[in-house]
Amino acid sequence: MPSDATLTADELLQLNIPDRRTELVRGRLVVREPGGYRHGEVTAAIAHALVAYVRPRDLGRVLGAETGFVLATDPDTVRAPDAAFIRRERAPDPPPAGYADIAPDLAIEVLSPGDRPAEVLAKVADWLSAGTTLVWVVNPGRREARVYRGDGTEAMVAPDGALDGEDVLPGFTAPLALLL
């Protein structure tokens, strides 16, 4: 593909690059290596905690790693968080076979050692610009997390603190130490 060529969300869906994570950022293909063991372990722990809280209360849908969301079109941006939550009243019904054309209410990013801060912040900005209310960026290496909100505020969660669902998932808390 020429360097100036752009892709659409539909083209990305048809693309098959084995053993790689792909996203589309303003029509440009972004290809990354799969997350490592620690990344997968932390992502699974967070998703498990969310599912255990959300399902019995029928609050919505928890989506696993690398579920694509179309955040912008023309040119298309398709981002894939490590985990996500969509409120029941916003969840697509029936669920799409491809990417959802909505931003999740909560997007979770778990950092890998090779993640670059500028790329992570660009991804957070894409989530928030598309309407995501709450973004958690979890850093297993530093045993901390940063919370970004749609209203522009942010907070740090220390190793002895907890992730909080705030207005997106009222009543949900998960001690960071148990997830890491």
CATH value at residue 47: 3.90.1570.10
- The residue that leads in pLDDT, 11 or 127, is 127
Asked if residue 20 is part of any domain, the answer here is: no
**What is the total count of domains within the chain?**
1
Nearest to 68 by CA among 123, 113, 23: 23
Residue 43 lies in a domain: yes
Residue 61, domain extent: 36-179
The answer to whether residue 106 is domain-embedded is yes
Q: Confirm whether 171 is domain-assigned.
A: yes
With respect to residue 115, please indicate whether it lies within any of the assigned structural domains. yes
Higher-pLDDT residue of 101 and 12 is 101
Give the pLDDT band of residue 2 (cuts 50, 70, 90): very low
Q: Is the pLDDT of residue 16 over 50?
A: yes
Give residue 4's pLDDT.
61
Q: Which carries the bigger pLDDT value, residue 25 or residue 101? A: 101
More confident residue, 22 or 149: 149
CB-based contact 45:65 (threshold 8 Å)? no
pLDDT band at 36 (very low <50, low <70, confident <90, very high): confident
Q: What sign has the CA pseudo-torsion 150, 151, 154, 159?
A: negative
The pLDDT of 85-105, averaged and rounded, is: 94
Pair of tokens at residue 161: 């603190």
83, β-bridge pairs: 108
The beta strands (E) that lie in the chain are given as 21-25, 28-32, 60-63, 69-72, 77-79, 83-87, 106-110, 134-139, 144-149, 154-157, 162-164, 173-175
What residue type is 75 in one-letter code? P
pLDDT at 24: 72
| Residue 14 in domain | no
Please indicate, yes or no, if residue 125 is contained in any of the structural domains: yes
- Do the domain assignments include residue 3? no
- Residue 1 pLDDT exceeds 70: no
Neighbours of 58 (CB within 10 A): 7
